[in-house]
Amino acid sequence: MSRSYTPKVVTANDLRLGDVVYLTHSGQWSRLHHEAALYSAEDAANAALASAASQSLIVVGAYLADAKAGPLGPEPVHFREVFRTRGPSNYAHGKQVDLHEPAKVA
Amino acid sequence: MYSYSDFDEGFVRTRVAQFIGQVTRRLDGSLTEEEFRPLRLMNGLYLQLHAYMLRVAIPYGTLSPHQMRQLAMIADTYDKGYGHFTTRQNIQFNWPKLPDVPAILGALADVEMHAIQTSGNCVRNVTADHFAGAAADEIEDPRPYAELLRQWSMDHPEFQFLPRKFKIAITGSPHDRAVTRAHDIGLRMVRNSDGIAGFEVIVGGGLGRTPMLGHVVRQFLPIPDLLPYVEAVLSVYNTLGRRDNKYKARIKITVHETGAQEITRMIEERFVETRAQFGGADQALLDDIRAAFAPPAFRNGDTSAYDTAYAADGAFRAWADTNLSKHRAGGYAIVTVSLKAHGDTPGDATGEQMRILADLAETFGHSDLRISHEQNVILPHVHKSDLPAVYAALKAAGLATANIGLLSDIIACPGMDYCSLATARSIPVAQELAMHFKALDLEHDIGPIKLKISGCINACGHHHVGHIGILGLDRAGVENYQITLGGDGSELAAIGEKIGPGFAYDQVTPAIERLLRAYIALRQEAGESFINAYRRLGPAPFKAALYGEGDHLDAA
């Protein structure tokens, strides 16, 4: 029987820049959390992670992170993942300015 | 200061050349990340939350103006215009791009710097008293010994794969500014009954998950025995250390499990062998190194300009009272430049600030700069007559905050704003505390206090040895902050006591305010410091104050 499974996104860091990236439905990498593919089944999530891990010329350190569905797309659940969507809190550096759009806060 | 020998230069240049090839092969797919990761870590390159981070060693916290300017150039060219000075006398760049890192390492090599052994299970950057060579209470400048240890430990084939990382701290003064009792090896210069200088050797201290103070394994080690003795300690640890369990792999656990007496016996036994292997070349080398650390030519001069400014200018007086320390040479002072402006990030300096500090060191400070484990910059040798000019220049650069040793002189690790190991944020907690107590105008009334914040149990922020320690944790997906009291990193070293349940992120500052208002009410007179009042009264009244408003508790 299927256990309850917390939905996941696949996230990693860009190999060259280190910036946080998310795996999309098309198998591309996006800088935006809400463009990530959200996997509600464990098998699909693990398969996506395996595919991501094989893209070692593009990303580094791929892993599955808990997420939930939101109006624009997946939203992070844990505060660590929220911070990864926007950058540090002490300077206007990272995604919160690089993406030229307001950071989404869960 | 010490200049690289041809051997040092060749070694560092070779490593840069190797890393250029390694990065090229990683980017073209010849190396997998699993293969590349240990290679980048051997060169101080970590992957953090938002970007790579490059950790550069500042050996025993000593920098020349030329080196500081190069750090500024790297910050401006390859990073976001600033660098972060750490509790291990390193500087961290938070935003380097992988393809740029070989060029950064090349730029470091140009000024005799590198990022080697700033990661991994090896001997890390040897740290020292940041007032070394200047402190009035000093027996001897410890930096020649720190440099000898640096050369000995650099790429030492026997100690590249220790059970765990290994940190050595050294001080030449009775007043311990280097937290020697919380290091794997702490070396304190002492004099024996004949007045001869040597080392008290402390082994097995450390903070982190299992905080412990080190044990004295040798009360007096003659100076010529330094390397063979330290090698004996490492050798015993390398044999006994727990490679089966990362959390029990530090030497503090080895000492704890083996027993201080037995490990002392084993070290002494091994020392007989290691000492026989050192043929005196180390002592010849030490003589050369000592010459490189000869004191500058201190001048005798009139100090009335200082006295005049001190009498006339209240802001200068406030800064002088907190940020100057007694120098060994008459007419001189040690200047601690605060990197803790209220509301700013502890330990951060912009490229422009670094250049100004380099200029000041060159013009007024015998071309010497230090980085303290408390994340400030030191101008160790400034003639008092130059202090008004130094102060004016610092003020113009936003570097004249008069808060050294006060509440807002907070140690804070990068925490979850940068670090991938962190369980909670540290920096914004420090920023809010500093701003809050500034608004209350209370920190001068509170007086000397050490407040230290870590964003995880690894304790880079030294919270266990803070008079007030704050540890950020993740409690069921929410940031939660545990408070410890009574810690001390000085020669009276003590591990702080956990006082009770943690506080929610927005309840830390109110809790600390209640605690410190209770201290003001409880102290015997204005001269009794927080730590002395705590020692006199014990935790009970402070605990009552912390938890005085029970509805703010987060029962974690």
Does residue B115 lie within any of the structural domains? no
**Does a structural domain hold residue B116?**
no
CA distance A20 to A85: 7
Q: Which of B341, B371, B396 finishes a domain?
A: B396
The residues in A 6-65 lying below 8 A from B, measured between CB atoms, are 13, 15-20, 56-57, 60-61
Spatial separation of the C-alpha atoms in residues B346 and B85, rounded to whole Å: 8
pLDDT score for B548:
86
The alpha carbon of residue B412 is apart from the nearest alpha carbon of chain A, in Å, by 12
Q: Clarify whether residues B430 and B384 are in a common domain.
A: no
Average pLDDT in the B275-290 region? 94
The verdict on B375 touching A (C-beta cutoff 8 Å) is no
Same domain for B152 and B269, yes or no, is yes
What are the tens digits of pLDDT across the range A8-33?
Answer: 999 999 999 999 999 999 999 999 99
pLDDT bin (cut points 50, 70, 90) of residue B556 is very low
Contact B27 A16 (CB under 8 A): yes
Question: Do the chains contact at B47 and A61, CB–CB below 8 Å?
Answer: yes
Convert the pLDDT of each residue in B137-153 to its tens digit: 999 999 999 999 999 99
Q: Tell me: the pLDDT tens digits for B26-82?
A: 999 999 999 999 999 999 999 999 999 999 999 999 999 999 999 999 999 999 999
Report the C-alpha gap between B481 and B55 in whole angstroms: 27
For residue B380, the domain's CATH number is 3.90.480.20
**Interchain contact, B416 vs A95, CB within 8 Å:** no
What's the token pair of residue B358? 């380099």
Instruction: Give the range of the structural domain holding residue B88, as residue numbers without chain letter.
Output: 6-110
- pLDDT tens, position by position, A51-81: 999 999 999 999 999 999 999 999 999 999 9
- Count of structural domains, chain A: 1
Which residues in chain B are closer than 8 Å to A94, comparing Cβ atoms?
Answer: 50-51
pLDDT of residue B339: 98
Do B390 and B447 reside in the same domain of the chain? Answer: no
| CA neighbor of B129 nearest in space, from B183, B195, B77, B76 | B183
Report yes or no: B25 at the A interface, CB cutoff 8 Å.
no
| Contact flag B477-A84 (C-beta cutoff 8 Å) | no
Chain B positions touching A20 (Cβ under 8 A) are: 49-50
A&B contacts, CB < 8 Å: 73
> Are residues B50 and A18, on separate chains, in Cβ contact within 8 Å?
yes
The Cα diameter of chain A in Å comes to 48
Mind listing the pLDDT tens digit for each residue in B370-419? Answer: 999 999 999 999 999 999 999 999 999 999 999 999 999 999 999 999 99
Instruction: Report the pLDDT value the prediction gives residue B286, as an integer from 0 to 100.
Output: 96
Q: Which residues of A touch B428 (CB under 8 A)?
A: 89-90
Residues of A whose CB is below 8 A from B48: 18
Give Cβ neighbours of residue B478 (< 8 Å, ≥ 6 apart): A79, B504, B505, B554
B524-531's contacts with Cβ under 8 Å and 24+ in sequence apart are B526/B445, B526/B447, B529/B447, B529/B448, B529/B449, B530/B446, B530/B447, B530/B448, B530/B449, B530/B467, B530/B468, B531/B449, B531/B450, B531/B467, B531/B486, B531/B488
Same domain membership, residue B325 and residue B267: no
In a domain, A1, yes or no: no
Q: What is the pLDDT of residue B525?
A: 81
pLDDT tens string B517-554: 999 999 998 799 999 999 999 999 999 999 985 444 44
Classify residue B122: in a domain, yes or no: no
Q: Are residues B225 and B334 in the same domain?
A: no
Question: What is the side-by-side strand order in the sheet with A20-23?
Answer: A29-30, A20-23, A8-14, A59-69, A74-76
As given in the structure block, the two tokens for residue B170 are 């050294």
Are B417 and B524 found together in one domain? yes
Predicted ipTM beyond 0.90: yes
Token output for A1: 């029987």
Domain boundary among B260, B292, B324: B292
Q: Which residues of A touch B433 (CB under 8 A)?
A: none
Whether residue B133 is contained in a domain is answered as no
Q: Six-digit token pair at B232?
A: 């004996």
Cα separation, A72 vs A87, in Å, equals 20
Q: How far apart are CA B499 and CA B470, in angstroms?
A: 11
Q: Which residues contact A75 (CB under 8 A, 6 or more apart)?
A: A33, A34, A67, A68, A69, A104, A106
Task: Work out the pLDDT band at A100, boundaries 50, 70, 90.
Answer: low
Candidate from A57, A78, A90 with C-beta closest to B417: A90
Return the bridge partners of B473, or none: B480
DSSP string, B395-418: HHTT-----TTSTTS-EE--GGGT
What residues have CB less than 8 Å from B196, skipping those under 6 apart? B222
The answer to whether the Cβ–Cβ distance between B47 and A17 falls below 8 Å is: no
- Mean pLDDT of the region B99-121: 98
Nearest neighbour of A84 by CB, restricted to B49, B94, B97? B49
Cβ B51–A19 below 8 Å, yes or no? yes
B431 and chain A in contact, CB less than 8 A: yes
- Has residue A22 been placed in a domain? yes
Do B538 and B418 fall into the same domain?
A: yes
Q: Is residue B48 less than 8 Å (CB to CB) from chain A? A: yes
What span, in angstroms and rounded, lies between the C-alpha atoms of B124 and B546?
38
Q: In angstroms, rounded to a whole number, what is the distance separating the alpha carbons of residues B540 and B537? A: 8
Instruction: Choose among B224, B227, B204: nearest CA to B214.
Output: B204
B424 → chain A, closest CA residue = A80
Q: Chain A closest CA to B123's CA: distance in Å?
A: 27
DSSP state at residue B373: T
The half-sphere exposure of B58 on its side-chain side, counting CA atoms within 13 A, is 30
Q: pLDDT at residue A1 above 60? A: no
* Whether residues B364 and B478 fall in one domain: no
From CA B184, how far away is CA B378, in angstroms rounded? Answer: 25
Does pLDDT of B23 surpass 80?
A: yes
In a domain, B405, yes or no: no
Domain boundaries, position A73 = 8-98
CA–CA dist B50, A95 (Å, integer) = 9
Q: Are residues B165 and B288 in the same domain?
A: yes
Of A17, A60, A61, the CB nearest to B97: A17
- The three state secondary structure string of B82-146 is EEEECCCCEEEECCCCHHHHHHHHHHHHHCCCCCCCCCCCCECCCEECCCCCCECCCCCCCHHHH
For the stretch B340-361, pLDDT in tens is 999 999 999 999 999 999 999 9
CA of B73 vs chain A CAs: smallest distance (Å): 19
Confirm whether B520 is domain-assigned: yes
In a domain, A106, yes or no: no
Q: How far is CA B161 from CA B22, B44, B148, B250, in A?
A: 20, 16, 21, 13
Strands B468-475 and B497-498, bridge-based pairing: unpaired
- What's the rounded Cα separation, in Å, for the pair B185 and B202? 6
Q: Which residues of A touch B47 (CB under 8 A)?
A: 13, 18, 60-61
Cα B192 to Cα B180: distance, rounded to the nearest angstrom: 19
User: Does some domain include residue A105?
Assistant: no
Residues of A whose CB is below 8 A from B25: none
Q: How far apart are CA B217 and CA B50, in angstroms?
A: 43
Q: Are residues B352 and B266 in the same domain?
A: no
Torsion (CA) B497, B502, B504, B507 in degrees, nearest 10: -50
On whether both B285 and B167 belong to a single domain, the answer is yes
3-state helix, strand, coil split of chain A in percent (to 5) is 25, 25, 50
Q: What is the pLDDT of residue A99?
A: 85
Q: Per-residue pLDDT tens for B453-486?
A: 999 999 999 999 999 999 999 999 999 999 999 9
Contacts of A84 in chain B (CB under 8 A): 49-50
Verify that B449 and B368 share a domain, yes or no: no
Question: Are B345 and A16 within 8 A, CB to CB?
Answer: no
| Closest residue to A89, CB basis, from B47, B99, B427 | B427
Average pLDDT over residues B282-289: 95
CA of A92: which chain B residue's CA is closest? Answer: B80
Q: Contact at 8 Å (CB) between B340 and B434?
A: yes
Instruction: Give the Cβ contact number of residue B322 at 10 Å.
Output: 19
In a domain, B457, yes or no: yes
Q: Which residues in chain B are closer than 8 Å to A88, comparing Cβ atoms?
A: 50, 94, 417-418, 427
Beta strands in A3-104 (DSSP E): 8-14, 20-23, 29-30, 59-69, 74-76
CA B264 to the chain's CA centroid = 27
pLDDT tens figures, B162-198: 999 999 999 999 999 999 999 999 999 999 999 999 9
pLDDT over 80 at A105, yes or no: no
The tokens describing B107, both together, are 């730029």
Residues B213-233, mean pLDDT to the nearest whole number: 98
| Angstrom distance (rounded) from CA B383 to CA B395 | 18
Mean confidence (pLDDT) of chain B? 96
Whether A32 is in a domain gets the answer yes
Indicate the number of domains in chain B. 4
Q: Does the CB of B47 have a partner CB in chain A at under 8 Å?
A: yes
Per CB-CB distance under 8 Å, the chain B contacts of A82 are: none
